[in-house]
Structure 1
């Protein structure tokens, strides 16, 4: 927990999404009782085992979302950060409408250009947003990305700088885009330097 206190000092108001995959309900409640409310899961089935936790938890879905899992998680998610196609966005909108819900989403970009990562190209951003305007049950609140799989801090910095520039260009054009979700346990310090607004941290907190 001392690591938690250090991280909170470093964040200085930046939102913390605690990645709770593979963690027990008791471990989640430890952080809930410290005042944390934003928790991230990357598998639908695991998320569904945790939905009996306090109702004011803002569950974030941060993994690759299979289309056949959208309906099952819809009643419980506050935000789906990993939307990487218009097809998926339209399905999310349809399932949210089915239960009279408006759900927050983020566009996931693969700025690291790694085959192992999901995400759109930056060129897709405006087309994506313009095609979402008739979808009344989603609210695009920001963008999400992952740093490259490398120990080279300069390479990570380049990708996060691109993320920041993309976020700012979209934020200036669309005032509902307010969240830049980048930075994880290994690279969150670089993300803070590049002015992220949310980090997703798990392993170093447990």
Structure 2
């Protein structure tokens, strides 16, 4: 018998294009909930706190692809470097350097998304376009052989104004299109991660191919 979580996940997947990766955001939810979703065959799960990510990774099946979707502090990178599938929120050159350093220690190339600040809120993290270009065109990135930049990530303003949300996603998509043919060895831009439970449909319409959805699968957060 399928659980409510399994049903929600299965129904949601039917509405997404095949080209879109669904990251099921399990933050604050118990491992048993993740397991119910995993048993449908789903493998991509996202957490926004390192401690929660590492403890779930220890408890749950090893073929799960763990996404670090929250703000990542440099001193925490070492805890997830051995196993993390994708780091979504790389918002500084210093953080990228630390990921490269820890990737080297565990002999892994760690996939990353550069987070772009598109929201009209100061609470959101991210690079502006000038900082993005400085990273992509800088000599330091070329020397980081233990990271691979595979795309961009952005979060829209938390607002009811759908025109504003659409405008912000559109701006991120246009930056992505402008830089996706970067010819650096460790830059292969194919992922545009934008859209969460409240705005993923707009994000898909604006070109997202990775959405981060939690409450629409697992229900309201447990704070």
**Shared fold (TM-score, shorter chain, > 0.5):** yes
The aligned residue for residue 40 of structure 1 is 46
Equivalences, count: 206
Taking structure 2 as the reference length, what is the TM-score of the superposition?
A: 0.89
Q: Find the residue that maps to 1:176 and give its secondary structure.
A: strand
Runs of 4+ in 1 over 6 A off after TM superposition: none
CA contact under 8 A between 2:10 and 2:40: conserved in structure 1?
no
| Structure 1 unmatched ranges of 5 or more | none
Say if 2:107 is the partner of 1:95: no
Q: How does 1:78-117 map to 2 (within 5 A)?
A: 78-117=85-124
Q: Deviations over 1:23-65 (max 9, x none)?
A: 1111111111111111111101111111121111111101111
More deviation, 44-53/138-147: 44-53
Residue number in structure 1 paired with 2:165: 156
Which of residues 17, 20, 28 is equivalent to 2:34? 28
Structural RMSD (CA): 1.3
Work out whether 1:15 is the aligned partner of 2:21: yes
For residues 1-206 of structure 1, what are the structure 2 equivalents within 5 Å?
1-13=6-18, 14-52=20-58, 53-131=60-138, 132-174=141-183, 176-206=188-218
1:103-157 superposed Cα distances (whole Å, 9 cap, x missing partner): 0000001111421001000222221122311100000000000011110000000
Structure 2: segments with no counterpart, 5+ residues: 1-5, 219-223
